[in-house]
Amino acid sequence: MQYTLSILVENHAGVLSKISGLFSRRGFNIDSLAVGVTNDPTVSRITIVANGDEYVVEQLEKQLNKVIPVIKVKRLTEGEFISRELILIKVHCAPSKRAEIIKTAEIMQAKIVDAAPNCVTVEYCETSARIKTLIDMLKPYGIREIVRTGTIAIDRGNTSVSI
């Protein structure tokens, strides 16, 4: 089971290592992790996508809550939140293939942000699932490099994860 946790923490040095240390020493697997400051500069948000069964997730939430600089932990409900990842893909691109790749990017609503004689760089901000589709479509041309962020997520509608 994959789940997304939205964690509010005090914006101090060393907090991230407390959280990541907790994951590794208790044997929890992280798929992605993203950190950024919130509208309150003293508070940061860590979004974690992780894998595990119900027992693991429950333990994880409880253990996270024990970390003193952790202010709030919320497991986002499947289907009730919006999630995004940002990816930059450098694709091998012979001049003859350029139009094809641009077309593919257009279909997926991705942007070409850089080009060179033998490659283009595609920027894409989407859900993990759509990002995977784009990668699959670009693979045949030869992917040189992928740079991606962790997933960030926000509740749909009126609910929010705040203090």
Instruction: By CB under 8 A, name the binding residues for another protein.
Output: 9-10, 14, 17-18, 21, 25, 55, 58-59, 62-63, 65-72, 163
CA-CA distance, 119 to 140, in Å (whole number)?
Answer: 13
Buried b (16+ CB within 10 A) or exposed e, 61-97: eebbeebebbbebbebeeeebebbbbbebbbebeeeb
Q: What DSSP element (H or E) covers 130? A: helix 128-138
Nearest approach, Cβ of residue 55 and another protein (Å):
8
Choice between 20 and 83, CB closer to another protein: 20
| Separate counts of helices (H) and strands (E) for the chain | 4, 9
Nearest approach, Cβ of residue 30 and another protein (Å):
17
Nearest approach, Cβ of residue 49 and another protein (Å):
21
Nearest approach, Cβ of residue 143 and another protein (Å):
37
Choice between 26 and 144, CB closer to another protein: 26
Residue 118, SS3?
coil
* Cβ–Cβ < 8 Å for 130, 102: no
Choice between 12 and 111, CB closer to another protein: 12
Choice between 129 and 163, CB closer to another protein: 163
